[in-house]
Structure 1
Amino acid sequence: MSAPVAELTRELVAVPSHDDETAAGDVIERWLREETTAGVTRDGVGNVLARKRADGALPEESDDRRSLAFVGHHDVVPPDDSQIRDAPEPGEYEYVVEERNGRIYGRGAADMKGAVAAAMLAFRDATAPDGSDLVFASFVGEEVGGVGARHAIEEGFVPDYAVVGEGSTNYSKPGVTDVVVAHRGRRGITVTSHGVASHASEPEAGENAIYRAAEAVERVRDLEFPSVEVAGESLSGSVAVTEIDGGSAINVVPDRCSFTVDERTVPGERADLEVLAEIPDLEWTVDQDLPPMQCDDEAFAQAVLESARDVHSGEPELVTKPHATDAGWLSQAGTECVIYGPSEPGEAHTRDESVSIAVLERCQETYRAIAESW
């Protein structure tokens, strides 16, 4: 018989949630109401939230008590065709879920319904320390910029501490699930240069917007990347020009050219993109700005690390992560966050996405240990 965390993961992965998270949220909400004594809510955008305390009383979020949250998301990126099959009802479909060689395969298994399942079970089974609340949250819209997390924060969801179940397995070495104490953010920018159009036979009669954009691209290329030291490691940012578009015809000097910049940010630092302001007739807009994360509470990070080591045969470490997650939004709002989850590098968003059942069990045990000792 499959482990409970494997069974719950299979149930969650089977529910499509790349264009509408409602059905997956329904499963999570129903399970929490049936399996726990927590106060369970579903907010206006579809986030599923639950809260409990040791004495069994239903806590009010406004209570002045310390809180620890297990945080995940139940939306996924669009599946590959091989990850979908037709459902019994005409016009409907479901995700393909398979279990083999100790792993569960399917869209969202690694990112991150497996971690959500492990957190749900740990939340149910753990007893919160006296004087504190234990919280569970599964957000919508993480894959499209943290829609659910931002809404929850705006509505007052700011736990004191959070363990976000994004991937941290095999970061320091094979066979361990590490504790991430910082990650990079992402800022996406569109830069537009303006010129004056003219016939290409008389280029001096116009102002070539592509030349102006090329000067801006060179400025971006020469930028120094910021870096910070976290947990004994250097977490470095980056800046790259990723797309360019300009011109209307081979014989026309263009009056407009635009290009996009992908900037990976680090806590407290930004690349000096303001140098672009020195170029005339240039404007830039921020299309997306996902914040980085850094845990500033060393005692909390160490407590999570000790809980992880207690259930490991290996030796997990404090590490950093290159990808932005909902932990960035929570950290920006004032929550001390770490990341601890089953997904391995290269597993998320792939056509053969999968997660190890043994690591799911490890995460479940670790989450419960954290909940009862933090």
Structure 2
Amino acid sequence: MSSLALSSDPVALTAALVDVPSPSHHESRIADAIEQALRELEGVEVKRVSNTVVARTQRDLGSRVILAGHVDTVPIADNVPHHMEGDMLYGCGSVDMKSGLAVYLHTFARLANSPDLKRDLTLICYEGEEVSSEYNGLGILEREAPEWLVGDLALLGEPSGGVIEAGCQGTIRVKVTGHGVRAHSARAWLGDNAAHRLAEVLTRVASYEPRTVTVEGCEYREGLNVVGLKAGVATNTLPDEAEMLVNFRFAPDRTLDEALEHLYGVLAVDGEHVTVEVDDAVGGARPGLDKPAAQALLDAVGGNFRAKFGWTDVSRFSTLAIPAVNYGPGDPGLAHKPEEHCPVDQITQVADVLYRFCTSPVK
């Protein structure tokens, strides 16, 4: 394909990115295109790690901002190439997150050699965000080239409706297993129904009253929910094993260990007839809006911000002591939908704000 026109209109760049299919594990083509375009910029250091492409300026400007966006999408649902309907751009990844990626690429290319740039920039276009964390390009970069993960503030181009969404919730998923004895349902007294062993735990989860808590000016709502149930071997048989998946979304004022301890207390399993096993667990990220670089970004967007519901890769930056926010165009509620679409005015708005932020004096 021809080289991406990074300095062109970010709406056109979004459309060009959408038209390059890049479902998870198939990012090589879009990584090739991004790498080629970035290597055409003068005075910019570019590196590729698998299908993650990174670039940075080295102008000793006294502050560094990381612009990060993932290049992969969920599987295509007959929604590539893009199409326009009025002021809406439709297509796979138009929200999650090729519009955000386009804005970040555009901003980097526009300012990389501009005398107006007031903060050095690191651009990270990474693979494998939509799949298991072992494939996440940020995690791979942290292991193989950690020197690229240095900065005073990180922006993640996840869809946020053009509003800063600060921090993120942590998430724990556990598998709760009921253990019993299989028997014919006509002779139930000879067995022990494993599904019934889960009843008390399910009731505790259903009656749980989650917190709403304010952390550094952001209001987070926690949640504890059963998200999966599995039991039964035949319609006339008592199951000897039953499984329940429970998901705990917790505010970033809890550490991961504190959240796990709290969850175990709520589930209160006996360890004999019912056991619990952690299936996945990651900590959240505090907003970090009190940092100078974050304050400058807030000024650029007019001071509007809110909490991020859900987990994003800002947590990875938080563990590196880099304050991070989610900031990108598009309604996150449309992510992964076949009718995924993004208002073009939000793409332009986010691009304008980023330019204003990156060219504002460092205080």
TM-score, normalization: structure 2? 0.85
CA separation of 1:129 and 1:203: change in aligned 2, threshold 3 A:
farther
Match of 1:69 in 2: 66
Shift of 1:358: 2.2
Shift of 1:258: 0.4
Paired residue type of 1:158: L
- Greater Cα shift, 69-78 or 203-212: 203-212
Identify unmatched segments of 5+ residues in structure 1: 57-64, 84-94, 170-176, 310-315
Superposed CA offset, 1:147-182 (max 9, x none) = 12222223314333201111222xxxxxxx321222
Query: How many Å separate the matches in 2 of 1:119 and 1:52?
Result: 14
Query: How many Å separate the matches in 1 of 2:172 and 2:263?
Result: 11
CA separation of 1:244 and 1:78: change in aligned 2, threshold 3 A:
same
Query: How many Å separate the matches in 1 of 2:320 and 2:64?
Result: 14
Q: Quick one: percent identity of the two aligned structures?
A: 29
Shift of 1:183: 2.4
Match of 2:16 in 1: 11
Which residue, 134, 156, 168 being the options, matches 1:183? Answer: 168
Does the residue aligned with 1:294 lie in a helix, a strand or coil? coil
For the 8 Å contact 2:218–2:287, the answer to whether it is kept is no
CA separation of 1:34 and 1:334: change in aligned 2, threshold 3 A:
same
Match of 2:160 in 1: 168
Which residue, 152, 158, 161 being the options, matches 2:141? Answer: 152
Query: How many Å separate the matches in 1 of 2:216 and 2:297?
Result: 14
Which residue, 240, 249, 263 being the options, matches 1:255? Answer: 240
Shift of 1:194: 1.2
Which residue, 341, 344, 352 being the options, matches 2:331? Answer: 344
Alignment of 1:106-145 (within 5 A): 106-126=91-111, 133-145=120-132
Match of 1:24 in 2: 30
Which residue, 58, 75, 78 being the options, matches 2:75? Answer: 78
TM-score, normalization: structure 1? 0.82
Shift of 1:35: 3.1
Query: How many Å separate the matches in 1 of 2:12 and 2:171?
Result: 35
Superposed CA offset, 1:324-352 (max 9, x none) = 22112222332210121111243322222
Which residue, 50, 54, 58 being the options, matches 1:53? Answer: 58
Does the residue aligned with 2:316 lie in a helix, a strand or coil? helix
CA separation of 1:357 and 1:201: change in aligned 2, threshold 3 A:
closer
Query: How many Å separate the matches in 2 of 1:132 and 1:300?
Result: 10
Paired residue type of 1:150: G
Superposed CA offset, 1:175-218 (max 9, x none) = xx321222223322221111122333333332221111112212
User: What RMSD in Å do the two structures reach over aligned CA positions?
Assistant: 2.6
Which residue, 279, 295, 306 being the options, matches 1:302? Answer: 295
CA separation of 1:224 and 1:128: change in aligned 2, threshold 3 A:
farther
Query: How many Å separate the matches in 2 of 1:268 and 1:55?
Result: 35
Shift of 1:116: 0.9
Does the residue aligned with 2:12 lie in a helix, a strand or coil? helix
Alignment of 1:172-251 (within 5 A): 177-251=162-236
Paired residue type of 2:347: L
Paired residues, number = 339
Shift of 1:297: 4.2
Match of 1:172 in 2: none
Match of 1:334 in 2: 321
